[in-house]
Chains A and B, each alone.
Chain A
Amino acid sequence: MSDSIAIKQPKHTLSVLVKHNLNTLSRIIGIFSAKGFELDSVTFAAEAEPGMARITITTRGDEKTVEQINKLLHNVVDVLKVINLTHKKSIERELAIIKVSTVKAGRPEIMLIAQAFKAKVIDITIDKLALEVTGNSDKVDAMIEVLKPYGIVAMSRTGSVALKREFQGAVNIN
């Protein structure tokens, strides 16, 4: 599969509840590398319940591919639950820290853009600004696109974290 085709595949967010150990995390990552599935981002951290962790994965693929990913994740012994949030009402957030050069446009212009995205300035130097932005991945993508022409010096994204909304409303397809 060439990259240009893969990019067009729809995005899916999977929320995976697992036992908190690195073997499980490795097994899950191993599925993606061994079977050649796309993996845009992955986050792993402890859950509220002791001994449990939640892994949020964003991947790309057609329905058949994502269904197969879902099944293979279920086959991992220490996986308790896999939810594909793509077909549910969900809350999704990502945080990014972006260092932008102020050489081309000056600080005010960059800060205006930051304001538009409700981003915070968290560091200032003579020729750079560091911005903190939070939102869903699309918003983060959009801000990065806008900032690119000014010169992004470095950036760090957390990858998506997401949960199912409690109220699924009338379109709940469960």
Chain B
Amino acid sequence: MKSTKPINPAENIPPKSTLKPFIRQQTDSDTQSYSGSEILIKTLVDLGVDTIFGYPGGAVLPIYDTLFGNHDLKHILIRHEQAGTHAADGYSRATGKPGVVLATSGPGGTNTVTGIATAMMDSIPLVVLTGQVPTSVIGNDAFQEADIVGITRPITKQNYLVRDVNNLEHVLKEAFHIATHGRPGPVLVDLPKDMLNTKGKYAGLDNDVDIPSFKPTLYGHHPQIAKAAEMLSNAKKPLIYVGGGAILGRAWEEVTAFAERLNIPVTTTLMGLGAFPESKPQSLGMLGMHGTWYANMAMTECDVLIAVGARFDDRVTGRLDGFSQNSLKIHIDIDPSCIGKNVEVEVPIVGDVKHVIPAIDKLATPPKIDKWWATIHKWQKEHPLVVPKADDKIYPQHMVKMISEITNGNAIVVTDVGQHQMWAAQHYHYNHPRSWISSGGLGTMGYGFPAAMGAALACPDRDVVCITGDGGFQMSSYELATAVEYKIPVKIALMNNNCLGMVRQWQQLFFDKRYSYSVFGSNNPDFVKMAESYGCLGLRATNPKELKDVLEQAMAVKDAPVLMDIRVVEEENCYPMVPSGAALNEMVESDEEAGI
């Protein structure tokens, strides 16, 4: 600065009208020329983005200046970039639209990593925008510099560093296209500060960009489709196994029509919950490590298995050499690398389930499977989901059932990870798609509450219940400030057992009750007081009657978050359970069977 006299800070502040000079000061001659930040915001609006979750910092100051007073985009100031990424993820899972995150360089970017990995594992479309130090100092260990493109390479579908402002619009449109097409996933765009300040052209390109190297296969190979239809028509013990792909591919109606017309039993994975209504007689509920007894038995015994947008995850298959050994397998997936990865299949079909399922449906005839249904009905009768007998304590299973009843099965349920997640998956009745939001693949604790905020912002007309635990909630509890600030009506049902329930369960079953660092006991905070300190309504329930009152009181609140500290039975275990390393039909159904 060449200032000759000392600057008086008070005098140096420009009048308010010039604080945001960019768009307003433009003259007719330079309407085609915008700063990188302006191009960024214009492109986001162009792409239909209405909400972004962000946190400011040095490298993204130009973007925040453009956002100042901007009414085209709703910016939610989260309290931590990881939570922001989860919130964008929840927003995406509730709507199918890509979630958008904005973070500054260095720590801002690295804080998004867990959220990006979570989205990658569950194929959630996210566009993560990170600030970067100016191009002239990239690589010099500048203040708040991190090689975020390098760090996120294995956990993104694609990522970019935009050095030239004239590439920005194109790269952003390509990023959104890649995030949302084919198997969806997160894409990161790194934005150096000087690029954001440089003027460039805004071309108003088509949102639907053409990328020659990126052409997902949508329509299945016809001979394979015909083969699949024939196998299903002649099956004696068929099973439809539906994964998250049916939701990501918006194919729930097609899947439901297909299963109902052919009258074939349907089991869904954790990610597939809601893709097929559990109220239908064909539904066997969830399968896998904590799936229903009859779904796992059907998987073991079936003779023709059709996997619809599922990936034969180890939590679904159990020990591979004991997995559904006598079945011929049909596998539909848009990602060819998912097919044949864990389990060999006879009929691989690469394509979009939304196109492939109706094509099979057209050719297949309902198989004659009365005997198979009789077997399944017998299993369902003999081995229903176990629920403890009611007494004066709150059992976690009862708590989930009560939430299901009070919300008529119409809420969006968002969870953290662990016992409460599995109980929420088992005992809530999922009849609608995009109503179950949970970190399935990565199993990210701390995901639930911020993801629930994202879902609630995306769907203001729906009830959003975050079923969480005392462990998971404490990983994101600071977001109470955000929920209160923006009046986000998330109902937090905190299943408080004063321990890390699933870790404790494994230690009880497999480590001789040596509860190593899994019990919080009296070291947990007073969650009601915690809520109150943020200006959030906090309620507590210690018995079933209080629970009903508390839930009803919470659900009546429509314009603010509510935290419910629900004191549940501490040493309750989640069953059925396929122990780690066991085959899918080697389930343990109770403490007695587990030998404890």
Contacts and interface: CB of A to CB of B under 8 A. Distances in A.
B212 interface: yes
Contacts of B154: 30, 34
A64 interface: yes
A174 B278 CA distance: 46
A75 B123 CA distance: 13
Interface string A60-81: 0000100110011011011110
A26 interface: yes
28 contacts: A19-B213, A23-B149, A23-B153, A23-B159, A23-B160, A23-B161, A26-B150, A30-B153, A30-B154, A67-B340, A68-B337, A68-B340, A68-B341, A71-B336, A71-B337, A72-B337, A74-B336, A74-B337, A75-B335, A75-B337, A77-B157, A77-B211, A77-B213, A78-B158, A78-B213, A79-B213, A80-B212, A80-B213
Task: Give chain A's interface residue range (CB within 8 Å of chain B).
Answer: 10 to 19
Nearest to B344: A64
B178 interface: yes
B214 interface: yes
A165 interface: no
Interface in B158-181: 158-161, 178
Interface in B331-361: 335-337, 340-341
B141 to A, nearest CB: 19
A27 interface: yes
B459 to A, nearest CB: 31
Contacts of B212: 80
Range, interface on chain B: 10 to 19
A13 B430 CA distance: 49
A26 B153 contact: yes
B158 A77 contact: yes
Contacts of B337: 68, 71-72, 74-75
Interface string B124-156: 000000000000000000000000011001100
Contacts of A30: 153-154
Nearest to A69: B337
A1 to B, nearest CB: 17
A71 to B, nearest CB: 4
Given A68-B341, A77-B178, A80-B212, 7 more contacts: A23-B153, A26-B150, A30-B154, A71-B337, A75-B336, A77-B157, A80-B213
9 smallest beta-carbon distances between A and B, as pairs: A71-B337, A77-B158, A80-B213, A71-B336, A77-B214, A72-B337, A30-B154, A75-B337, A34-B154
Nearest to B177: A77
Contacts of A19: 213
Contacts of A72: 337
B172 to A, nearest CB: 15
Contacts of B214: 77
A75 B217 CA distance: 12
Contacts of A23: 149, 153, 159-161
B340 to A, nearest CB: 7
A80 B335 CA distance: 16
Interface string A112-129: 000000000000000000
A64 B341 CA distance: 9
B335 A64 contact: no
Nearest to A27: B153
Nearest to A72: B337
Nearest to B150: A26
B218 to A, nearest CB: 15
Contacts of B158: 77-78
A74 B339 CA distance: 14
Nearest to B159: A23
A74 to B, nearest CB: 7
Nearest to B350: A71
Interface in A19-60: 19, 23, 26-27, 30, 34
Nearest to B178: A77
Most chain A CB within a 10 A radius of its CB, from B178, B335, B336? B336
Interface string A74-101: 1101111000000000000000000000
